Amino acid sequence: MTPPPLDALLLYRLSRLMAVTGRMVTRLCEGRFGITRREWRMLVTLAGLGELSSSQLAAHAELDRARTSKAVGSLVAKALVSRVALASDRRQVTLRLTERGRALYDELFPLVSAINAELAAALATAEAERFDTALQRLQARAERMAEAAVLPKADRGRRGERRTAKD
């Protein structure tokens, strides 16, 4: 049996779409604003949700906690985000945009929105509405699948070797 072509896989096609459009966002972020795409994702999350702990930020932005921690350090060093100790427990901190971070967000968000709008302009209004509904359904299904999935964890120390039943 011949496997289906790669272009028949939804995730592959979405990945290609993200790669093409994501490069434009990355160039804006890195080339013009001096931040990474991950840092942008964190800034836009903080702009939308307000103060968050590092763990909350990682969860909302769908990012790995360790990478989030490293990126937070970078954003703090760039004076885009500040750490604020909680009055009730000085060991716990929340993160918030600084004035400089808010100004960067205010300048970059319209540019990223314009990329999104230009891409979406390929769809008629009714198509865009159906597509939005379909994306909501796909997101909900993906979240249910992720909750129910029983998959092996990555073992990066094995350098791509497959686990066998005896492992």
Q: What pLDDT, on a 0 to 100 scale, did the predictor assign at position 159?
A: 61
Domain boundaries, the chain: 7-149
Q: Residue 52 in contact with residue 75, Cβ under 8 Å?
A: no
Does the model's pTM come out above 0.85? no
Low-confidence stretches of the chain (pLDDT < 50) are none
Q: What pLDDT, on a 0 to 100 scale, did the predictor assign at position 129?
A: 97
Torsion of CA 149, 153, 159, 160, to 10 degrees: -20
* Nearest-angstrom CA–CA distance, 95 and 80: 10
Structure tokens at 33: 């604003």
Which SS3 state, helix, strand or coil, does residue 93 take? Answer: strand
pLDDT in tens, 48-95: 999 999 889 999 988 888 888 899 999 999 999 999 887 777 678 899
7-149: CATH topology? Arc Repressor Mutant, subunit A (1.10.10)
Mean pLDDT of the chain: 89
Q: Which of 60, 116, 67 is nearest to 108 (CA)?
A: 116
Which residue is associated with the tokens 């979406």? 120
